[in-house]
A and B are shown apart, each in its own frame.
Chain A
Amino acid sequence: MPWDRNQMAARAAEELEDGMYVNLGIGIPTLVANYVGDKDITLQSENGMLGMGPFPYEGEEDPDLINAGKQTITELPRTSYFDSATSFGMIRGGKIAAAILGAMEVDEKGDLANWMIPGKLVKGMGGAMDLVAGVGRVIVVMDHANKHGESKVLKECTLPLTGAGVVDMIITNLGVLEVVEGGLKILELADGVTEDEMRAATEATIV
């Protein structure tokens, strides 16, 4: 059985180490926070917060306290707040150990596309370009294929890039791939997924 959203998030959480400052993107990456267990992880929200807490209970929402996805959240005893220039200073400056984010396409060179589809979806890159350019490690978590069944793990991205040569690891419903010299290396297969199935579902070169 390929992994579901929660299993992909749980696998991504295994990549995090005690003491890390981490930025989680919207969608499946947000679920990673549920699987860090006993590890001491501090979550950054790029709109200006370190130490992001869980969603509030009903009635405790604060309009001055939101995450980068504009959802209401809460603070923790360790929380600090800062302005956007400082926030992206720590991102661009390499202080954030890892970013886990979704993607529309990834390719074998580690190029990432997740911000626009020309003529169709023009919402903007938000903080994604700064994150992939600046953080220590970029982990993409996404479905292996798009809704038309086509591979999202490509030889070369077709959509406008968010970053070139920035992705370190790709976690999909089929398994875990690492970006290495010459292509992608299979690190792990989801339970019941064979190497042949992974190769058949992947357009990129697997080394």
Chain B
Amino acid sequence: MKKVYGSAAEALDGLLFDGMQIAAGGFGLCGIPELLLQAIKEAGTKDLTFASNNAGVDDFGIGILLQTRQVKKMISSYVGENAEFMRQYLSGELELEFNPQGTLAERMRAGGAGIPGFYTKTGVGTQIAEGKEHKDFRGETYIMEEGIFADLSIVKAWKADTTGNAIFRKTARNFNPPAAMCGKVCVMEVEEIVEPGELDPDHIHLPGIYVHRLIQGEHEKRIEKVTTRPAA
């Protein structure tokens, strides 16, 4: 059971095909699988559908795949930081399916947990609910949302052991665990790979069963909005 690969390109070898659906972790630029996204750009895979909370910025994150027109459709909750995204969307080159953020997270979690659909109050009475099944439970109306079953998950963690048991750091965890769970295959990039036993089993955030391939690399970890308070 070899999970550790030498590079992002090696880890993705044989997994990419045109028209595939990819679930990606990250929130804004925090905790995004930046090395795997770069490798997908270099592989040139086309007509991709991404389930990802955001679309990066123009020159980082999923934004780099928008520049090369490799993305056909985004399933996201917020795309406000990306001018090229907006241009492609308004000109009809790019499809966009808005999902409320919690609905997107739960669709990933559900897909990974073998749940094809679930009911939620989120979006009832809004355009998100149009065309979806409505059902009353305990006197309130809910809509049905479907689980996401992606062809591939790409995620980023802080540390993992060679069996894929992973730990995230602070708010960089975000969508990474649910995204990891919902793909047929999950490729994870980390800042440090350690030997089994070096991570406390009680502190594992994502068990290695969800992680099929693993790489270690240098991360830029760009900050989207540096915000500080005056010195004391």
A residues in contact (CB < 8 Å) with B:
45-49, 54-58, 60-67, 69-73, 75, 81-85, 87-89, 91-92, 111, 122-130, 133-134, 160-165
Contacts and interface: CB of A to CB of B under 8 A. Distances in A.
Nearest to A83: B177
Contacts of B100: 125, 127-130
Given A65-B171, A125-B78, A161 B222 contact: no
A124 B80 CA distance: 7
Interface in B24-39: 27-31
Contact of A164 (B53, B124, B222): B124
Given A75-B170, A81-B171, 9 more contacts: A47-B171, A54-B229, A67-B171, A70-B29, A83-B175, A89-B106, A122-B96, A129-B102, A130-B102
Contacts of B80: 123-124
A55 B101 contact: no
Contact of A130 (B78, B81, B122): B122
11 contacts: A47-B171, A48-B173, A55-B229, A64-B30, A81-B168, A83-B168, A92-B120, A124-B77, A127-B102, A129-B101, A163-B124
Nearest to B81: A70
B126 A88 contact: no
Interface in B155-191: 158, 168-178
Interface of B: 27-31, 53, 76-81, 86, 89-90, 96, 98, 100-106, 108-109, 120-128, 158, 168-178, 205, 221-229, 231-232
A31 B10 CA distance: 48
A45 B172 CA distance: 13
Contact of A126 (B101, B109, B224): B101
A70 B170 contact: no
A84 B27 contact: yes
Given A65-B170, A72-B225, A123-B78, A130 B101 contact: yes
